[in-house]
Structure 1
Amino acid sequence: MSRVDAAGRACSITLAEGRCPAPVEPGAPLDLCTRHLLEAYDWVARGVGETDLMPGPCPVCGSWVGVAYPSGRICANCEWRVGDVPDLEVADPRVDVVYYLRYRDQIKIGTSGNPRLRVASLPHDEVLAFELGDRLVEQRRHAQFAARRFAGTEWFAVHDELLAHIAELRLGVADPWQQYDRWVSRRLAAQN
């Protein structure tokens, strides 16, 4: 005996023993029950992949987001295949950045040519932004926000002017790390 949903629809799948008796999943675009919607999803995901977290950060770009296929997993950002060894002969070009990190109610303004390594060594709650630049740009920012600097450090109290500067750097940037990866990719492409 077939069950129906509130709109009077039953699953449209025909099984060996007859029509599937389950009700249609509420809001489903097709007359399929939950079980058959999931089976259809799994079938489609085999070909197009399924976005998911990777077992660890990508050794090439650092992203944690991957795409799983039956044949394996790739990084969603740079398409490195999980398990492949990165080509160490092709070193990333140096891209100096000024970074802005938030830790509790403070913001650190620093610079690095290897921000992944540098940021990983610092206490922080969030990477707020990157700005292309070296020590000269960093020194300008330290002078610009000097009134709120904690003496003898690169840490600053959170204040409106600094937040406005960071917001300007973040315009159109969903993830600062993806922005950094694009800068590295452009620099690498320019070398070839």
Structure 2
Amino acid sequence: MTESGGCAIAGCETRPDADAPLPLCAPHLLTAYDWVARAVGVTDVLPSPCLACGSRTGIRYPSGWLCAVCEWRVGALPDGEAGRTRVDVVYYLRFRDRVKIGTTGNPRARLAQLRYDEVLAFERGDRMLEQRRHAQFAAHRIHRSEWFDRHAALDEHIARLNGPGVDPWGLHQRWVSEAIAVAGR
């Protein structure tokens, strides 16, 4: 603050808020924020899901948007390889009082084909893991299908997969992003 109690910007006599981090008035703090945001970007919701990983979180720069998960430039089309990045998952869906344990390499497309009330969890793995889970919970399997009655052991397994505050779709987005990064695309 200047000796007059105004903003530290020459000629500005607007008094800074008492809890301001710098001796600047609100308009000058916003100008400084905009200047810094040019370099570091602003985290926000993407205008549409990322084409590479499906994330909805992005970083907005004056030059455009980047996905906050996989850093894909919004508006760029995934090349043939990145667009085909496959991450196999075992999914756990709830429909009424039953749980379906299935597997897919494209959960959005597969789950769009199914009737369910809630996505309970994703577990990274393929058909072999799915078959192990079917065997693990076989005592509660419904007529040799992929559907199981809810029971304590299955609920505990799903709770371990989720962890506190874990979003299954967020996990899947991270796995796809990691697969793209490992492939160097």
Please give the range of the TM-score, normalised by the shorter of the 2 chains: 0.7 to 0.9
Could you tell me which amino acid in structure 2 is paired with residue 41 of structure 1? Y
Residues 117-175 of structure 1: CA distance to partner in whole angstroms, max 9, x if unpaired?
213444453452223121x3213212322344455653444443223223433469773
Contact 1:14 / 1:20 at 8 angstroms: preserved in 2? no
Do the aligned partners of 1:92 and 1:188 also contact (CA within 8 Å) in 2?
no
1:104-119 equivalences in 2 (<5 Å): 106-119=98-111
Asked if the contact 1:51/1:76 (under 8 Å) is kept, the reply is yes
Contact between 1:65 and 1:75, CA under 8 Å: does it hold in 2?
yes
AA aligned opposite 2:44: D
Check if 1:188 corresponds to 2:180.
no
Q: Structure 2: how far apart are the matches of 1:74 and 1:91? A: 16
Q: Does 1:132 align with 2:114?
A: no
Root-mean-square deviation (CA), in Å?
3.3
The offset of 1:106, in angstroms, is: 4.5
> Secondary structure in 2 aligned to 1:14?
coil
Is the Cα–Cα contact under 8 Å of residues 104 and 125 in structure 1 kept in the other structure?
A: no
Partner of 2:78: 86
- 1:31 matched to which residue of 2? 23
Structure 1 counterpart of 2:37, which letter? A
The 3-state SS of whatever aligns with 1:111 is strand
Q: Which residue is equivalent to 2:14?
A: 20
3-state SS, counterpart of residue 180 of structure 2? helix
1:1-192 matches, cutoff 5 A: 12-14=7-9, 16=11, 18-21=12-15, 23-24=16-17, 27-88=19-80, 92-102=84-94, 106-122=98-114, 123-126=116-119, 128-134=121-127, 136-151=128-143, 153-170=145-162, 175-182=170-177, 184-185=179-180, 188=183
Shift of 1:63: 0.8
Q: Letter of the 2:183 partner, please give it.
A: L
Provide structure 1 residue ranges, at least 5 long, that are not aligned to the other structure: 1-9
- TM-score under structure 1 length normalisation: 0.72
Q: Which has the higher contact order (CA 8 A, sep 6+)?
A: 2
Q: 1:77 to 1:29 in 2, by over 3 A?
A: same
Unaligned runs of 5+ in 2: none
Identity percentage of aligned residues: 49
The count of corresponding residues between Structure 1 and Structure 2 is 178
Q: Is the 8 A contact 2:85 2:176 kept in 1?
A: no
